[in-house]
Amino acid sequence: MHELSLTQGVVEAITDRLGPRRVVMVRLEIGKLSGVVVDSVRFCFDLVVAGTPLEGARLEIEEPGGRARCRDCSASFASDDPILLCPCGSSDVEVLAGTELLIKAVQLAPGEVLPDVRDVRV
């Protein structure tokens, strides 16, 4: 189940950036063509955040739909099916949207402050 390692990576990215500051909400964007099972991420999130500053945080997930463009007929079309076929029948398509896996927002607990930008190593 790769959703467990993905969820661990999300939590690590947040704690690496924010340190011990308590987080009350995390918003993710997981595209419908990403291959990620959203219900599994929800399940794994509660397990992974235990004992971290994210414990008890609310998880919100946005699921943008897939969009593609046909290289044969140039039509753009929506599809949430991982097997992308243009309405013209061609499978020669370019995925335009729907593969996202992003941390869109993190909300800190009242009284917590963001780290000073000078403290962030790039």
Phi then psi for 30, rounded to 5 degrees?
-125, 105
Q: Considering the domain delimited by 2-108, tell me its CATH architecture.
A: 2-Layer Sandwich (3.30)
73 is in an annotated binding site: yes
Give the pLDDT of residue 114: 75
Residue 88 annotated as binding? yes
Of 10-19, 44-53, 113-122, give the lowest mean pLDDT range: 113-122
Q: Beta strands 23-30 and 58-62: pairing type?
A: parallel
Per the annotation, does 44 bind a ligand?
Answer: no
Reply yes or no on whether the pLDDT at 118 is more than 70: no
Q: What is the pLDDT of residues 41-66, one digit of tens each?
A: 999 999 999 999 999 999 999 999 99
Q: Domain spans of the chain?
A: 2-108
Contacts of 25 (CB under 8 A, 6+ apart): 57, 58, 59, 60, 105, 106, 107
Whole-model pTM above 0.95?
no
Specify the pLDDT at position 101. 94
Q: Tell me the one-letter amino acid at 83.
A: I
Mean pLDDT over the full length of the chain: 91
Question: What are phi and psi for residue 16, nearest 5 degrees?
Answer: -60, -40
Q: Name the band, by pLDDT with cuts 50, 70 and 90, for residue 115.
A: low
Residues 6+ apart with CB under 8 A from 10: 26, 28, 103
